[in-house]
Structure 1
Amino acid sequence: MLTFHSERTKKRDAMTELDGGRLVRPFECPERVDIIIDRVRATDLGEIRAPEEYGLDPVLAIHDAGYVHFLERAWDDWSAAGMEGEAIPTIWPTRRMRGDVIPDTIAGEIGYYALAAETSLCAGTFEAAQASTDIALSALDHVMATGNPAFGLCRPPGHHAAVDQYGGYCFFNNAAIAAQRALDRGAAKVAVLDIDFHHGNGTQDIFYDRDDVLFVSLHGDPRQEFPFFLGHADETGTGAGRGFNVNYPLPSGTGYADWSETLDEAIARVHRYQPDLLIVSVGVDTFEHDPISSFRLISEDFTDIGRRLRRAGMPTLFLMEGGYAIAEIGINTVNLLSGFDSA
């Protein structure tokens, strides 16, 4: 399987994450990319290719222009304001506050555009987010041109990024941007299957009122898990999109027997939709030792996941999302991809 990768994704090297009341080094770190690439090479998964550069037009097809411009200048504005640390929001337009007026100062803008406080902005964030999108689009173009699967080693991840919000380590929604490009290139219908531990709230937000993209997600129950405020089973879409958003929230401690049974149900739902393309948002944070998740999958389970996805029998694009058990992230990710290749 062809892998798309860029060293530019490591331009984002944040030093601070708010976790349990402490400022710690982020769980989403550049080393994740190095470990996965090393495993791709060690297992001879396939060629590793640098992405093309696509500019901002595909990003602007999904994300609000004001939001994109904010991300482009946010670090410079934060630094120019004399702030000494990395940019972390401290206030939001929450209930009973106005959300229709964007503040003029960078401290206020960050609160407007952030959905959570754990994700700091740092130098290199915008460049890395662009590189991540280029990876997704290059991998997509390969799948559409050849019908063969491809893996986009995206970093930062994307599925928490909404139309005009960042958070959960995500800035541009790579899966959504790739789905829109596929439609623009002639696909009639696209399915996004999100198997990350955390709900892809951003992807849901972007396509919630559309019927040309089916979004299906298996994830930790939002009553207990980030992002908390989206991902319930009764969220099924609105307007034309009613019935085209499918959530499978699962309880803490879910093991592979129950998780894989739910995956089979999700794949069956994708089959009924009959998409021209399947985009898999790959999260291996369902692993039993992941530090910020609570499912109980083991490394061998990811090989079986790949086999099950192959049996879906459709052109498939894999895009990297989460996974924070650093020692095993390469094994788990490549197990899934190898399982797909060998089925």
Structure 2
Amino acid sequence: MGKVVLVTGVARQLGGRFVRRIQRDPDVERVIGVDSVPPEHHLGGAEFVRADIRHPMIAKVLAEHAVDTVVHMNVTGTPIGRGGGRALVKETNVIGTMQLLGACQKAPSVKRLVVKSSTSVYGSAPRDPAVFTESTPPKSLPSGGFAKDTVEVEGYVRGFARRRPDVAVAVLRFANILGPCADSPLAEYFSLPVLPTVLGYDPRLQFVHEDDVIDVLRIAASEPARGSLNSGTFNIAGDGVLLLSQTARRLGRPTLPFLLPTVTWVGSALRTVGVTDFSPEQIRLLTHGRVVQTTQMRETLGFTPRYTTAETFEDFARSRGPGLLPPAVLARTVDRLAGVLAAPGAAQ
């Protein structure tokens, strides 16, 4: 008998892609896709169960199908179809995870749990270390938005791991996920015609390609290969970093700098036009940035991304089409302006 894998969040493109991919694994017998709304994309040969993970009925789904592997992908920063807003997103992230973990705890068939988390658990602060490892405590815990949700989710997962030590638990902390089908607050931000920034700051950012997300989730949901360990907490990101100014150049989009005290007002204005999670934590990321170490991803989990951070962003930028300005022209203009400002006597 092969594995029975349950995947949450399959109505989203990323969840649907993972369901279609994992069905091709020879050791997988059945895949059960779960979401509160039917997906608009096909799920291959997977069985779709319409269920809200915030409700106790998810325990019945686990029991009826004798699920042994759970891949929890329904921890996200955006609602499906723009419905429900931030309150529904938080309930699904936090309450949904609590219900799912409670169901897993009572299901003796469950032997492996994979949770899609985020590097946002580290927060973004002016005195952060240059690079976060999996064991680095944040300088200041996120106070709201998706970042706070992920902190709470990981706390519940650690509690579950203590109560069910027989279950292999893998928490994958993804850097900002981008790609042609990316659906995230940061993808929405980069899709704006003009990018609001914080005056005087140029944060370092990391990205992971959605193709690499699928591949590493599949590895984490599988039996460990020789020399690797598919349990623990892992930072997942492409090699290298990009400055926010570099991303704007690659997109061909001008930036509009604001003084830090006024950025909160800008975030409120953006939320009114549909940028869901332009929260204080998102603003901190676009002010101070965040970079994580991925040694454990490579050496312990045994995964090497196919895309670097720069290649990931390049693929995303191509999918969004040309910006207001040709990237080459924008880059020359910015470089020329930077040279003028850096010239001797320019600040006098």
Q: Same fold (TM over 0.5)?
A: no
- Indicate the structure (1 or 2) with the bigger Cα radius of gyration: 2
Give me the TM-score of the superposition, normalised by structure 2. Answer: 0.28
The structure richer in strand per residue is 2
Give me the TM-score of the superposition, normalised by structure 1. Answer: 0.28
